Amino acid sequence: MRLVTSAPVAGFLLMGLYILLAVGAASLASLPPGNLTVFWLPAGIGVALVARLGPRLGVPAVFAASLVANFLSMNPSNSLAAMVGATALSALVDSCQSWLAWWLWRRTEDKHHLPLLQGPHHLTCLWRLLRISVLPPVLTVWILPLIHFALGTAELNLASYVSRVAMLVSADTCGLFLILPLVMAIRDHTSSADTTALVMTTLILGAAQAILSAIDPLLAPLSLFGLTLLAFRFHLAGAALGNLVCATIMVAQASLGIGPLGHGAAAHTVFTLNLTILGVGVTVLYMGMLQAQQRRMQENLEAEVLRRTEQLEEHSRALAVSNTDLENFAYVASHDLREPLRMISSYLSLLERRLTASLDDETRTFLGFARDGAKRMDRLILDLLDYSRLGRGDTKAQPVDLNEIMAQVQADLALVVQRTGAIIQAAPLPVVAGNHSEITRLFQNLIGNAVKFAAADRPPSIRIDAEAKGALWRITIADNGIGIPDDQRERVFGIFQRLHGISQYEGTGIGLAACKRIVELHGGLIQVQSPSGQGCTISFTLPAA
């Protein structure tokens, strides 16, 4: 709820409201049950004045408003001097109480760096509110009966003094408890549309409560349903305003002798109303605080989602730029970097042909090393280019029949299989979801490695199996080759990682790194097992089609 007014205008309005409520409450004191000190709303209005104007202007404003209200409410049969003295001293006590409540409120929020009713522990927050509502009246209002007794404006004995102080403490406590949450809700700056809806809903609730309790006092508890709706719909503002309206109607009905508490002794009515106001008020405020916390959490979540979405969009733009740079790199790697290597290799061959007669064996060997180095560099660039292109093609998953992949790989490796005498056995394989060309390269690399890293004393034997694992298929490729040492199992999947010299086994050290990347791009995992001297088993998972 938001009230857009300047400080002076707000101050005059609050002062007028203070005087109106104080004089109005005093005018009803003669009606049954004869005592309207159940709650004293001017106590809360005074704190609102200090909070809105600041202590330097707010405290004098409370003093002036209390002075006028007390003077208008005094019994004219008293002497003018007694009336002026009692009025001035009472106004001084009221202004001190307002300042003390404001100071406790401000000190509590400064200490915890949070609004009073927005802490993480709601019951603790409500306890602080009750403490701020109770302490100022306890420390100040006991003086008021003594002032009137000393100046002769009221009679007093010990019993009446204790009763009067108890009434005043409970009245000011309830007044503070009802007004302070409303002031805090106004400070939250809710939209004007919410304010209109809240006021209209509260007026309807108040009218319904008055009508129902007038028809039958037993129907009065139905107002709790309306308070609950206000707390859930309008959070802290709804709970605070609903408490104030319902409490006002209860007291007005009790003063007029109607409603659920309209009969019985004055003291009984007063304390029953006090307990009812505080009990219901605490419960409704607690519900309102829970709803307010849920709203803040939802707003924070929405803000976090928006922030993360913006981050993702920014990362997407950065990734698009990076992809463009990678495309440029791929072009350079496939053209500009390979061109000098082809030139080097060509001129080395030309030199060897032209100078064949004059070259000795050692020189020919050196030229052969240079040509082989250029070829390996060209192969390395091509493999690196292929590795950089993984995941950059058609990313839409399509059904891929692994049996067709196996047939294609066996055809591609037919010559090396025939030369080495390798035996490849494949169980019936499933259809998976993925990129056909990348999965083909995956099988080519793994089966090619199984043939290449064969043991010297036996021909290669390779077995391919498949096993369903929920929504995934686990593919296993086992061989009887030289295996992989235990301490090198993770290292083999790193790019440019080689376990053997180039003179023993050809390769660039990119093959298994590419396999791992392909499997991970398909949402799977790849693992290697290599029992000592018993070959190597590589397993990986791919999504089912």
Which of these, 474, 477, 394, lies nearest to 430 by C-alpha position? 474
Average pLDDT over residues 110-132: 84
CA 457, 460, 461: angle at the middle one, nearest 5?
125
Write out pLDDT tens, residues 222-249. 666 777 777 777 777 777 777 777 777 7
**532 phi and psi, to 5 degrees?**
-55, 120
Give the C-alpha separation, 173 to 281, whole Å. 12
User: Per the structure block, which two tokens stand in for 221?
Assistant: 């508890």
User: Per the structure block, which two tokens stand in for 487?
Assistant: 């301490």
The 3-state DSSP class for residue 370 equals: helix
Q: Which residue has the higher pLDDT, 24 or 421?
A: 421
Q: Which of 103-112, 182-191, 458-467 has the lowest mean pLDDT?
A: 182-191
Q: How many residues make up the chain in this entry?
A: 545
Long-range Cβ pairs for the range 336-345 (8 Å, 24+): 337/381, 338/378, 338/381, 338/382, 341/374, 341/377, 341/378, 341/381, 342/378, 344/370, 344/374, 345/371, 345/374, 345/375, 345/378
**Structural contact between residues 259 and 217, judged by C-beta atoms closer than 8 angstroms:** yes
**Structural contact between residues 285 and 239, judged by C-beta atoms closer than 8 angstroms:** yes
**Structural contact between residues 545 and 431, judged by C-beta atoms closer than 8 angstroms:** yes
- For each of the domains in the chain, give its residue range(s) and CATH number, in order of start: 1-180 (1.10.1760), 394-543 (3.30.565.10)
Q: Which residue has the higher pLDDT, 190 or 112?
A: 112
Model confidence at 219, pLDDT cuts 50, 70, 90, reads: low
Write out pLDDT tens, residues 398-425. 889 999 988 988 888 888 888 888 888 8
Give the C-alpha separation, 33 to 63, whole Å. 30
The pLDDT of residue 191 is above 50: no
Residue 94 confidence (pLDDT): 92
Residue 32 confidence (pLDDT): 40
Region label for 465, one of left (φ > 0), alpha (ψ between -120 and 50) or beta (otherwise): beta
Give the C-alpha separation, 174 to 25, whole Å. 14
The pLDDT of residue 104 is above 90: yes
Q: Which residue has the higher pLDDT, 212 or 297?
A: 297
Q: How many CB atoms lie within 10 A of CB 285?
A: 24
The pLDDT of residue 437 is above 90: no
DSSP assignment string, 223-286: HHHHHHHHHHHHHHHHHHHHHHHHHHHHHHHHHTT-STT-SS-HHHHHHHHHHHHHHHHHHHHH
The pLDDT of residue 99 is above 90: yes
The pLDDT of residue 105 is above 80: yes
Give the C-alpha separation, 105 to 46, whole Å. 13
For the chain, what percent of residues have pLDDT higher than 70? Answer: 80
Average pLDDT over residues 379-384: 74
Give the C-alpha separation, 54 to 76, whole Å. 34
Give the C-alpha separation, 382 to 37, whole Å. 93
Chain centroid offset of residue 22 CA: 45
For residues 39-61, one letter each, b for 16 or more C-beta atoms within 10 angstroms of the residue's C-beta and e for the rest, the string is: bbbbbbbbbbbbbbbeeeebbeb
Write out pLDDT tens, residues 496-522. 666 555 555 565 667 788 888 888 888
**Structural contact between residues 157 and 151, judged by C-beta atoms closer than 8 angstroms:** no
Residue 393 confidence (pLDDT): 63
Give the C-alpha separation, 464 to 477, whole Å. 5
